Amino acid sequence: MLAVHFGAGNIGRGFIGSLLYQSGFQTCFVDVNSEIVDLLNEKQAYRVVFADHSQEELLIKNVHAVNSKSDPDKVVETIAQADLVTAAVGPNILPLISGLIAQGLRKRIQTNDQPLNIIACENMIGGSTLLKEKVYEKISEEEKKMFNQRFGFPDAAVDRIVPNQTNEDKLMVMVEPFYEWAVDQTKMIGEKPKIEGITFVDDLKPYIERKLFTVNTGHAVAAYLGYYAGIKTINEAMEQQGIKTLVEKTLQETGLLLVQKYSFDMDTHKEYIAKILSRFSNPYISDDVTRVGRSPIRKLGLNDRLINPARQYVEIVKEEPVYLAKGIATAFLYDYQGDDEAVELKDKINSQGLEATIYEYTKLTKETVLVDLIINQFTLLKDGILV
Ligand SMILES: NC(=O)C1=CN([C@@H]2O[C@H](COP(=O)(O)OP(=O)(O)OC[C@H]3O[C@@H](n4cnc5c(N)ncnc54)[C@H](O)[C@@H]3O)[C@@H](O)[C@H]2O)C=CC1
Ligand SMILES: O=P(O)(O)OC[C@H]1O[C@](O)(CO)[C@@H](O)[C@@H]1O
């Protein structure tokens, strides 16, 4: 079995590649980072080490890589022969890989009649659907009909914390032992891939919202509060009782929304939150707040981890999400110079004011109470008032 995986980064090597190997796949990583591509081809293996007391080590074998910048034809060839295509490149990069995927699928139509699934493993709702849209923008109406019969783009929810790596061995990845990978089986085509660790579900929405609005909302809020307080890493931020309490209160808000919306059992959801808070505090992981808070404009999008639960909270719980609003305000205060989106956000606030900036990036409309809530929290934070 051959898998093509776009993005040989943290989650690509540390999660997807690892599960693919353990399920008997040969994995061809596609990346633009020539150092990683060359190393993968030289070693054809890499280490995944658990970030816990065990420090258990897995050797991931049967891997090679292609540089999509210098050898795009090879990528097209490989997609034509593959049994599965996956990606973990970041939501903003999905449009950039869609051209090569379209070419690979076009070639495949001519040479291989086996169905194929393409799964984007990104922190977003509808990642594979977005990738499909971008691929379909590049093909004819006739091709769309053929693609519909042969290719599936099932959405997925992926969860495993893999921080930026600073190991001497450039291929090695430290990962938390926990993982979750849920895939929408209703959008799959042909036989389901036999991958140990995937949960195939009929309705992905509760899974992705539970994960995005708990793990990713909580993580983002911890990152922005940590940055606000001048703290370097997530676990150091979680050691501050004030920050930990605010993260917890935020997850109580998203929890109330999720429990009401999906009829989750409250006690079970509380346990889920507790587990996630303990993952943020993992002392074996040093995860910079600037990695977790990266790309604040994306994270402030209408359907992402901050605005989405806040507006659903207003609609469904019918109360004001004070803690979510505070978290959102900290995202607007995030001005890390090493992050282009943070720099853009700050410039926009300086030139157009906060209110216009909120409308522009969140796409919230004037009817919602959220904008005023965010502005109030922003003003308090500016005055140094955190609680
Ligand atoms: N790191 C984590 O713990 C988790 C990350 N994710 C998601 O996985 C995705 C990737 O995140 P990370 O692995 O952390 O990022 P990363 O930056 O470590 O990896 C991304 C990889 O994509 C490559 N890339 C960039 N442009 C490319 C292109 N045009 N073609 C092929 N490869 C390209 C980069 O060179 C890099 O190796 C994101 O959507 C993230 O939200 C999801 C769950 C956990
Ligand atoms: O990868 P993104 O969407 O920028 O956000 C960082 C988030 O992704 C993760 O790396 C993995 O879920 C989390 O650690 C964090 O919440």
Q: Are residues 39 and 128 in the same domain?
A: yes
Distances (CA, A) of 233 to 219, 244, 375: 11, 13, 27
Kindly list the protein residues whose Cβ atom lies closer than 6 A to any atom of ligand 1.
Answer: 6-12, 30-33, 68, 88-91, 93, 96-97, 121-123, 158, 160-162
pLDDT in tens, 39-64: 999 999 999 999 999 999 999 999 99
Measured in Å, residue 326 CA sits from the centre of ligand 1 at 28
Q: Are residues 108 and 154 in the same domain?
A: yes
Judged against a pLDDT cut of 90, whether residue 161 lies above it is answered with yes
Q: HSE of 249 in the Cβ direction (CA atoms, 13 Å)?
A: 15
Ligand nearest to the CA of 288: 2
Count: domains in the chain: 2
Last residue of a domain, one of 173, 201, 229: 201
pLDDT at 77: 98
Q: Are residues 164 and 287 in the same domain?
A: no
Ligand nearest to the CA of 295: 2
Q: Are residues 171 and 319 in the same domain?
A: no
Residue 158 lies in a domain: yes
> Which phi and psi angles does 159 have, rounded to 5°?
-140, 115
pLDDT at 216: 98
pLDDT at 162: 92
pLDDT in tens, 207-256: 999 999 999 999 999 999 999 999 999 999 999 999 999 999 999 999 99
pLDDT at 386: 84
Judged against a pLDDT cut of 80, whether residue 308 lies above it is answered with yes
Give the pLDDT band of residue 265 (cuts 50, 70, 90): very high
Q: Are residues 196 and 211 in the same domain?
A: no
Question: Which letter, b or e, does each residue of 290-321 get, where b requires 16 or more Cβ atoms within 10 Å of its Cβ?
Answer: bbbbbbbbbbbbeebbbbbbbbbbbeeeeebb
Q: DSSP alpha helices (H): ranges in the chain?
A: 10-11, 17-22, 34-43, 72-81, 94-111, 127-136, 141-150, 205-211, 217-228, 234-239, 241-262, 266-280, 289-292, 296-299, 307-312, 322-332, 340-352, 354-362, 370-382
Element (H, E) at 171: none
Distances (CA, A) of 118 to 86, 124, 137, 236: 6, 16, 16, 38
Ligand nearest to the CA of 127: 1
Measured in Å, residue 91 CA sits from the centre of ligand 1 at 9
Last residue of a domain, one of 201, 216, 245: 201
C-alpha to C-alpha distance for 274 and 50, rounded to whole angstroms = 21
Residue 265 lies in a domain: yes
Task: Tell me the CATH number at 7.
Answer: 3.40.50.720
What range does the domain containing 197 cover?
Answer: 2-201
Residue 387 lies in a domain: no
Q: Which two tokens stand for residue 226?
A: 């940590």
Q: What percent of the chain has pLDDT over 90?
A: 98
Residue 169 lies in a domain: yes
Measured from the Cα of 96, ligand 1's closest atom is 29
Residue 127 lies in a domain: yes
pLDDT at 168: 95
More confident of the two residues 385 and 280: 280
Measured in Å, residue 57 CA sits from the centre of ligand 2 at 23
Report the chain's terminal Cα–Cα distance, integer Å: 53
Question: Treating both helix axes as pointing N-terminal to C-terminal, what angle do 322-332 and 217-228 enclose, rounded to 10 degrees?
Answer: 60
Give the pLDDT band of residue 167 (cuts 50, 70, 90): very high
Last residue of a domain, one of 144, 179, 201: 201
Contact (Cβ atoms closer than 8 angstroms) between residue 118 and residue 152: yes
Residue of 13, 15, 216, 233 with the most ligand 2 atoms within 8 Å of its CB, for mutation: 216
pLDDT at 387: 77
Residue 16, burial from CB neighbour count under 10 angstroms (0-12, 13-18, 19+) = buried
Contact (Cβ atoms closer than 8 angstroms) between residue 324 and residue 250: yes
Contact (Cβ atoms closer than 8 angstroms) between residue 297 and residue 187: no
Residue 69 lies in a domain: yes
Q: Are residues 227 and 159 in the same domain?
A: no
C-alpha to C-alpha distance for 346 and 34, rounded to whole angstroms = 33
C-alpha to C-alpha distance for 345 and 287, rounded to whole angstroms = 23
Task: Tell me the CATH number at 274.
Answer: 1.10.1040.10
What average pLDDT does the chain have? 97
Q: Are residues 108 and 31 in the same domain?
A: yes
Give the pLDDT band of residue 34 (cuts 50, 70, 90): very high
Q: Are residues 228 and 280 in the same domain?
A: yes
C-alpha to C-alpha distance for 31 and 37, rounded to whole angstroms = 7
Q: Report the pLDDT averaged over residues 147-168.
A: 96
Q: Are residues 187 and 265 in the same domain?
A: no
Q: Are residues 165 and 214 in the same domain?
A: no
- Cβ neighbours of residue 10 under 8 Å, at least 6 residues apart? 162, 163, 164, 165, 173
Q: Are residues 92 and 233 in the same domain?
A: no
Give the pLDDT band of residue 68 (cuts 50, 70, 90): very high
Residue 216 lies in a domain: yes
Residues facing 155 on adjacent strands: none
Query: Known binding site for NAD(+): residues?
Result: 3-14
Residue 48 lies in a domain: yes
pLDDT in tens, 106-143: 999 999 999 999 999 999 999 999 999 999 999 999 99
Measured in Å, residue 123 CA sits from the centre of ligand 2 at 7
Measured in Å, residue 279 CA sits from the centre of ligand 2 at 13
Q: Are residues 218 and 185 in the same domain?
A: no
C-alpha to C-alpha distance for 302 and 205, rounded to whole angstroms = 16
Measured from the Cα of 159, ligand 1's closest atom is 43
Residue of 16, 123, 179 with the most ligand 2 atoms within 8 Å of its CB, for mutation: 123
